[in-house]
Every structure is written in C-alpha cells, then in structure tokens.
Amino acid sequence: MEETPDLTMGKVCCEQGIQLMCQGKIYNDHNQIVVARNSGLVQILDPYKDGKMFKICKEFTVKEVASDAHKKNKKFPSKFVGLFANKNVLVTCVSNGIIRYQPINPDDSNNPTIDKTIGHESNLCCLRVHPKENNIFALGGRERDLTLWDVNSNPTPITKNKGSKNGIIWNGKNIKSDFADLRVPIWITDIQFLDEQNTTKILTGTKYHQIRLYDVKTQRRPVFEASVGHKAVVSLIVGRNKNEVIFSDTVGNIFTVDLRNAKNVGQYKGYPKGEFRDQRHQVYLNHKLTRVLVDDEDEKPIETIVEETANLDDNRPTAKRRKTTRKTAGK
C-alpha cells in the first residue's frame, strides 16, 4: 500500500479557519480545492503542485464576511453557507442572503458577475448548486423553507437595498401541524439534489433529525419524510442506487435510510470498541475539525472475483458415491 503524502499549508490561526470546502476541475483534469475561510477569503488551491505544499492559484474576497471578521462581530456574524466552483464560475453564499456568481477569469465577458440579495433574508444555513445546471440552486435555513432559484431568469445585478425574489422558480411549504395542532419548526441544515440529470427532486436534512424529499413537479410539501435518531442532521449524500440516503448527525452517527419505505437500513458504528483482525489504513485527524473533504478521484474500483469463483466451482471434483448392498429376503 502506498504511503499517503502529507500536504500542509499555513499556520494555526483563527482568521484562517475553514468554514467550507469543495472541489472541482477548474484548471486541469485534476481536482482543485476551493476553501472559504473565516476572514472572508476564498482560495483555489492545487495540491498537485510544488510537492508537499498547496499552490494558491487564485484568491477572492467576500466583503460581507471579511467586514464582520474585522469588526469581530460575535453576536450575528456573517458566514459562508454555500460554495461551488467549476472552470467557468465561482458561487458563494453568505448567511445574510448575499449570493454571488463571479467568473473564475475576471476578463471573461461571457460570464458577468451577478450579485443577488434574497429578499433581505437572514439565517440561511445551506445553498446547493445543481452539479450540471449551474444556474439553478436551492437554499434553506432557520425558518427559511426550501426554495429553488434560477439565476438566468434575472441576470441583472440586485443591490443590497433592493432585496427581491426575482428568479425564484419554486417555493416549498411547511408540513401540516402536529397532533397537538402546533406549527412544526423549520431548520434546514443540508441540501442535496437526488439526481445529477434532474432538477426537480431535492433532499433536505433538518435540525430536528428529519430527512425530507421534495418533488417540484408534484407539490410544495415534501413527498417523503423520515425521522431517524435523536440528533440534528449535519450532512447527507445520495447513495449509489438513488434509493438510499446516507447522513450524519452531531455526535458522529451515520445512518442509511431507504427512500422507498422510510426504514432505517443500517447504522455505521464508527471506530470498533472490540478487537479486529487487520488494520488496513489509519489516518490521524486533529481535533476541532470543521470540514473534511474526500477526493472522489482516488476511489479504487472493487475487484470482481465472481467469475474466478465460478471457475473454481466448475473444476472442483465431484464426491464419489458410496456403494451400498441391498439385502434380499431369505438370505
């Protein structure tokens, strides 16, 4: 097994703390890492250059986060809640409702910078850009129900003093009141599109350990809902068969839920407490981590040994039958 290279950058500093990370093929065929920091700085890093040091390809500054970091606003600080990048555009979203589409290359006239203020909304917690249709994104937060937006429907810049809902193409609706006729609170923590080729089905995780599936073409309320565990959902991802969703909570539990019958398929316990036969790989991660990003390019294919097993079964010698003697009457 090859040794994992150690790539380090910078020093321990509160202002350089990471809020969000994402990856994308921006400059070449390898994935570059996009980092959003506490200081409002967004950096595009290339880990495949200069040996053991990240190469800073480009930097951007989001003034809303930078100003709060400079003023040390600890009561209601603006923070990053959405980050996306590809070879053409960089998308950032701040918790106070500022969404910015800006080109990776400032001289690119085909991709103008678009600043959009979502109706003076605050308490946003998550923005998710569709992986294929980058002009479409979904967002939600604390008492901010799920909404679907299209940037191309309103390409003109919107100033901060003119918050508008121009560009919204779908607005979700809260579920019905509970058995005590009390309103169910809304707090969306993570959003995922169910299919990369479709923009109509959206998954959400909530602060109240709920997994919901919305179908834009069907209705405004969720078409599926499951309550698993007792802790808030931190992040979720769609399984390979599109019928399962994997999510984690605030205490490190990882669950798998079947979207067809709302059943808890299984739970990943994490580090085993008992003995185990062989330790294949070990990675030490320091404490106080805020984000962990896994490169999907390093995924190794699973070796198939079904055919070899079948051949071994075919060549296996058959057992000889034991000879038996039949007794006849009178002998």
| Tens of pLDDT, residues 169-185 | 889 998 888 888 889 89
pLDDT tens profile 86-112? 888 889 999 888 888 888 876 666 666
Q: SS3 for 56?
A: strand
Measure the CA–CA gap between 23 and 86, rounded to whole angstroms.
Answer: 8
- pLDDT for the residue 323: 61
Structural domain contains residue 63: no
More confident position, 283 or 207: 207
Q: Does residue 316 carry a pLDDT above 60?
A: no
Structural domain contains residue 22: no
Contact (Cβ atoms closer than 8 angstroms) between residue 9 and residue 39: no
- pLDDT for the residue 178: 85
Structural domain contains residue 59: no
Query: Please, which pLDDT band fits residue 327 given cuts at 50, 70 and 90?
Result: low
pLDDT tens profile 192-234? 999 888 889 999 999 999 999 999 999 999 999 988 888 999 9
Q: What value does the mean pLDDT take over residues 301-310?
A: 48
More confident position, 80 or 53: 80
- pLDDT for the residue 129: 93
Structural domain contains residue 7: no
Q: Does residue 121 carry a pLDDT above 60?
A: yes
Structural domain contains residue 308: no
pLDDT over 90 percentage in the chain: 22
95 exposure class (CB count in 10 Å sphere: 0-12, 13-18, 19+): buried
Structural domain contains residue 98: yes
Structural domain contains residue 225: yes
Structural domain contains residue 206: yes
- pLDDT for the residue 113: 65
More confident position, 13 or 45: 45
Number of domains comprising the chain: 1
Measure the CA–CA gap between 252 and 268, rounded to whole angstroms.
Answer: 9
Measure the CA–CA gap between 322 and 325, rounded to whole angstroms.
Answer: 10
More confident position, 292 or 54: 292
Q: Does residue 275 carry a pLDDT above 90?
A: no
Q: Which of 57, 27, 26, 24 is nearest to 42 (CA)?
A: 57
Measure the CA–CA gap between 183 and 11, rounded to whole angstroms.
Answer: 47
Measure the CA–CA gap between 41 and 54, rounded to whole angstroms.
Answer: 16
- pLDDT for the residue 55: 78
- pLDDT for the residue 245: 92
Measure the CA–CA gap between 192 and 190, rounded to whole angstroms.
Answer: 7
Query: Please, which pLDDT band fits residue 262 given cuts at 50, 70 and 90?
Result: confident
Measure the CA–CA gap between 288 and 307, rounded to whole angstroms.
Answer: 46
Enclosing domain of residue 281 = 73-298
Q: Does residue 303 carry a pLDDT above 60?
A: no
The CATH number assigned to the domain holding 207 equals 2.130.10.10
Q: What value does the mean pLDDT take over residues 18-44?
A: 87
